Structure 1
Amino acid sequence: MRFDLYVITDEANGGGRSHAEIARLACTGGADAIQLRDKCCRSRELCRIGREIREITKETGALFIVNDRLDVALACGADGVHLGQGDLRPDTARQLAPRPFIIGISVGNAAEAVAAVEAGADYVAVSPVFATSSKDDAGPGCGLSGLREIRAAVSVPVIAIGGIGRDNVAELIAGGADGIAVISAVAGQPDITAAARDLRERITAAKKRYTGRNDD
């Protein structure tokens, strides 16, 4: 699994572009994973959109994750689902979707991260690291110190999300993040492909500098 650049689709931030168009442009720019996130869309429509994104990610080799909705993720052939602390437990989700189906969990501290992994999570998303206006329910950020604590507590991939832009990518990688998840930093930009490409290059450079890794 590769999560270096994890782009979350959001039509409210997308300047009139659809979920599928955001996904297509982000994948062209090098996104490693796409998450379909829509809190208002009805199930049938969400499945239709999911199938569109599934075809896009198949062509580029990106992972496709659906936010919250395990039923939709399974119906449209997604690679996985991303769950919050108040959603279905990962061990319950695993009973319905055995591996290699991916289960990711949002966590805010090391204790939540450990519990998520023990329950079967394949990755954790530290949400949020910094304050963000892209998610109304995000809450205060845990900061780099919180990210480091979570990184030290679990062995699965750790994804940073919240308040992330081109200028703080390097410090997040240095702080232990395996990848970054963004909404407005890609979906909200005039040129989504260029924004994704720029972030992807910055992540790669930071990994070479701080971890000695070169995943390309």
Structure 2
Amino acid sequence: MNDYRLYLVTDDQQDLATLKHVVNEALQGGVTMVQVREKHGDVRAFIERAQMVKEILKGSGVPLIINDRVDVALAVDADGVHLGQDDMPVEIARQLIGANKILGLSIENEAQLAQADNLPIDYIGLSAIFATPTKTNTKKHWGIEGLQKALSTTSLPIVAIGGIHEGNIPELMATGVHGLALVSAICHAKDPKSATEYLLGLMD
């Protein structure tokens, strides 16, 4: 099974009850990986959110990934952590989480991509593919051509992130990308379960 296929990234603006609803529904809809994101710097709240999501995913085989914070990933014994370029160096993160946890890294330009295969990571989050309202400080938009180039450059699985919606999914899947990371298409859907099923259908 390809865990990266439909990769849900939670919306840190949503309250606990909404988060619980979204993750529950997305899980029933067939989401294959869940990353909990919390950008407000409140570690206690982050741990609470992560523990709740872990409880929902328990026994499902769907990995729980923590965004940015290795300490939170360790605190809740998550399945892995996803780091940005300004977070803890991946070499140190790998030492802390051990060999069996999943470690992802956001790659934002060609220079970073060229280094990726030498790093102790399991997958790349290629960011951002298209312009997106959830990430305003993006340095680069890879586009379809950039994604194709990245896929031919690295041997690591690539999860495409940024500006992904139903209109561009078939085109993205045609590149052979390993997974798509989505926030609003699932988190802001009226019916997250149906939205997840629909998105997976577009990926076939």
Same structural fold, with TM-score higher than 0.5 when normalized by the shorter chain: yes
Contact 1:131 1:163 in 2 (8 A): yes
Taking the TM superposition and a 5 Å limit, the aligned residue runs for 1:120-135 are 120-135=120-135
Q: What residue ranges of structure 2 are gaps of 5+ in the alignment?
A: none
Aligned residue pairs total 203
CA distance in 2, matches of 1:20, 1:78: 17
Q: Secondary structure at the match of 2:91?
A: helix
Asked if the contact 2:67–2:83 (Cα under 8 Å) also holds between the matched residues in 1, the reply is yes
Name the structure 1 match of 2:160: 160
**Offset of residue 11 of structure 1:** 4.2
> Would you say the 8 A contact 1:161–1:181 is kept in 2?
yes
Aligned counterparts of 2:109 and 2:136: Cα–Cα separation in 1: 19
SS at match of 2:59: helix
Query: What RMSD, in angstroms, separates the aligned Cα atoms of the two structures?
Result: 1.8
For structure 1, the 5+ residue unaligned runs are: 206-216
Find the counterpart in structure 2 of residue 10 from structure 1: 11
Report what 1:69 is aligned to: 69
Q: In the alignment, is the contact (CA less than 8 A) between 2:122 and 2:156 conserved in 1?
A: yes
Using a 3 Å threshold, how does the CA distance of structure 1 residues 136 and 16 change in structure 2: closer, same or farther? Answer: farther
Alignment partners' CA distance in 1, 2:165 and 2:53: 24
Matches within 5 A, 1:33-112: 33-112=33-112
Instruction: Say whether the 8 Å CA contact 1:9–1:37 is kept in structure 2.
Output: yes
Letter of the aligned partner of 1:187 in structure 2?
C
The equivalences for 1:167-206 within 5 A come to 167-203=167-203, 205=204
CA contact (8 A) 2:108 2:140 kept: no
Offset from partner CA, 1:3-29 (integer Å, 9 cap, x none): 1000011043x5985333322121111
Which moved further from structure 2: 68-77 or 41-50? 41-50
Per-residue CA shift, 1:17-59, capped at 9, x if unaligned? Answer: 5333322121111110000011115112211211111121123
The residue aligned with 1:213 is: none
Residue identity opposite 2:87 in structure 1: D
In the superposition, the TM-score normalised over structure 1's length comes to 0.87
CA distance in structure 2 between the aligned counterparts of 1:89 and 1:11, rounded to whole angstroms: 23
Q: How many angstroms apart in 1 are the aligned matches of 2:149 and 2:59?
A: 37
Q: Structure 1 segments of 4 or more deviating over 6 A?
A: none
State, as a whole percentage, how many aligned pairs show the same letter: 35
